[in-house]
C-alpha cells in the first residue's frame, strides 16, 4: 500500500554541547541537510532556549525537518517528514550525523498516511520527468 509520506525519526547522541547550543550552527546544519537531501527549502525558523538548547524547523515543499537539542546531554532529536519518494533520507541522515558530531545515531522510519487507495490515486509533487517542458 502506497503512503502519503515518510517520517524519519533520528536520535543523535554524543554531540558536542557547543554545537547543540548554537542556533546559527544548528540552523546552518539543518538547512544544508535539506539541500543535500534534494528537498525544496521554503523557510527555516530557530529558537535559542535559556539556559540552553535550540529548537527549530525548516519548512520544505515536501513537509518539514525539525530538531530539538539538549546540549547538557549531548542529545538531539530530529524529525524529517516528507511526502513523495524524491528525498534522499540517507544523505540527510549522514549530513546531520557529521554536522552535529554525533558518535551514536538511532533511526526509525514510519510510513504515514497509508490510505486504502490505488497507488495511482495518491499524488505527490511531480518528479522532474513528470513536469511539462517549458517553451523557450
The helix/strand count (H/E) of the chain reads as: 3, 6
Structural domains of the chain sorted by starting position, each given as residue range(s) with its CATH number in brackets: 3-115 (3.60.90.10)
> Looking at the annotation, which residues are catalytic?
63, 68, 83
pTM above threshold 0.75: yes
Residue 2 has pLDDT above 80, yes or no: no
pLDDT computed for residue 133 by the predictor: 42
Residue 69 has pLDDT above 50, yes or no: yes
pLDDT computed for residue 102 by the predictor: 98
Residue 23 has pLDDT above 70, yes or no: yes
Q: What are 45-66's pLDDT values in tens digits? A: 999 999 999 999 999 999 999 9
d(CA 103, CA 83): 29
Amino acid at each position: 500500500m502506497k503512503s502519503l509520506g515518510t517520517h524519519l525519526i533520528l536520535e543523535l547522541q554524543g554531540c558536542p554541547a557547543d554545537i547543540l547550543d548554537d542556533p546559527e550552527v544548528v540552523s546552518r546544519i539543518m538547512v544544508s541537510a535539506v539541500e543535500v537531501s534534494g528537498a525544496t527549502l521554503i523557510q527555516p525558523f530557530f529558537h535559542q532556549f535559556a539556559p540552553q538548547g535550540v529548537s527549530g524547523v525548516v519548512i520544505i515543499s515536501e513537509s518539514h525537518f525539525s530538531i530539538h537539542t539538549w546540549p547538557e546531554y549531548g542529545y538531539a532529536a530530529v524529525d524529517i517528514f516528507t511526502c513523495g519518494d524524491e528525498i534522499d533520507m540517507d544523505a540527510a541522515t549522514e549530513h546531520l550525523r557529521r554536522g552535529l558530531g554525533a558518535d551514536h545515531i538511532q533511526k526509525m522510519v514510519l510510513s504515514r498516511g497509508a490510505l486504502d487507495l490505488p497507488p495511482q490515486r495518491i499524488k505527490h509533487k511531480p518528479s522532474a520527468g513528470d513536469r511539462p517542458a517549458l517553451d523557450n
